[in-house]
Chain A
Amino acid sequence: MMIPSRRSFLMGAAALSAAVVTPDLVRAAQAAAATPDWALATADVEADITARTLELVHGRAPAGLEGVLFRNGPAKFRRPGGSAQHWFDGDGLIRRFALSEGRVELSARFVATRKRAQEERLGAMVMPGFGTLGDPRAEIGSPDDANAANTSVLMAGDKLWALWEAGSPVAMDPITLQTEGYVTLRPDLRAMPFLAHPRIEPDGRIWNLGMGGDQALVWRLSADGTLEDASLIPLPRASYVHDFTATERHLVIVLQPWVRERQTMPFADGFAWRPETGTQILVVDKDDLTRRRIFETDAFGFFHLGDAWIEGDDILFDIALHRDMDFAARGASEIVNGVPLDGEAARLGLIRLKSDGATELTRLPAIAEFPRSDPARAGQMRRLSVHTSADTPETPFARAIGVTDWSTATTRTFDFGAGHVVDEMVWVAKPGTRSEADAWLIGPSLNLTERRTELHVLDVAALEDGPVATWRADVALPAAFHGIWA
């Protein structure tokens, strides 16, 4: 008699799990009921988005604007058997906005990673990540088994690479967005990390880093994605590096006092905030990676830097300054679970590394993240940066776009309002122009009121007037991280 009753108990448990009433789902439902509508910014997308034409809802398409905006960001966090616990750990969805003859076509496909295949099979998000502990069932024989390919994109020759930061690029067809496979640039460099923030010289040469504690691999690739060189350099500390910057002659590696002290999972739990040690900035010559200088400045946290340039013998670059790395350690987990942020928004700063070894840090009042500038001036003298912005520090995501002029240290903004989550925008020079300000800004927002994704084009010269054109999709895609114009 024991056997049937035990069996029926097991059957009952199986039936329950088949109906997917798991604690995770209940929590997710409670979170959804309690959250404001900006929870849409970290919502799940259940399937690839087939190509569709966007509706022009404002203005008109600028003449001569032709190209494709590729963007990457996490768009699947939750499965019945378990969910990712951090914004950085969702599956990468590549968005493709193609602008041609005044029309915009949108398609989006998930990068077909081994992570995603395993999690689909198990019906659970099992991979450990930046802020997710992971599940013992996860099968991980290589860092690329946990690669979410969710952070940015890069055109390498005729391939689109989806980038993470702790594993290989994943090659895709830039038209169909079909995944082709993990990129091994040389057999002995298989599965080496490749940051999601390569620095690309105006002639197309690609510089990047692969972080490994207190050393970094410096990647140098030609414009077609062929490896030119890969060299290890030592670092003075095992700092968290998400982004670096470069002038035409230097690599600039900012080492914030968030340092890896333990080998543990989730990845972020291995880092400790050590503000008493300040921030170090390592400058390495591109022509001779053994030639280096170290600058020191105040403690701050950061993810993103602007392109650097040289003035006289000084090196300058902009930065989105965080008070600390609480957002990485905690805030980005709460965002996924629909908890409003109580942290302080990042603000724009300018760092000048002087030839005498001193460092000047200028803090601007503007709230800012995702700084970008004219790619044709990468590493060279420039005066303008575009960045997301906001009216109030309390806004959980950006709602405005800003352009800061470094010659006057002033910021102009356009506020889309509380009903929009504004993504990073790219800088696109108007055809046939030479002035830095003759440019468009192109990027999406998530319209929370309409529950739709929109694509906007703004004119840098008349930023405060708002978009010159806005198209609206018939879908709502969550906020994304980074993109390129190609």
Chain B
Amino acid sequence: MEIIVLLICISLLVALGFLAAFIWSIRSGQYDDNYTPGIRILFEDSTETSDKQPKA
């Protein structure tokens, strides 16, 4: 039965990790714009110009 105590603690730590990851993602601005990336992903790169593109 002692093992369940250990498991509870481990599961809580894992969950805390996810909470931290979520808070980090808000802070780093990942939720600032949740509309434009959805449009951006649909653009096709025109290939013939790839030699003209400067290195960004």
Is the pairing of A and B real? no
Residues of B bordering A, CB below 8 Å: none
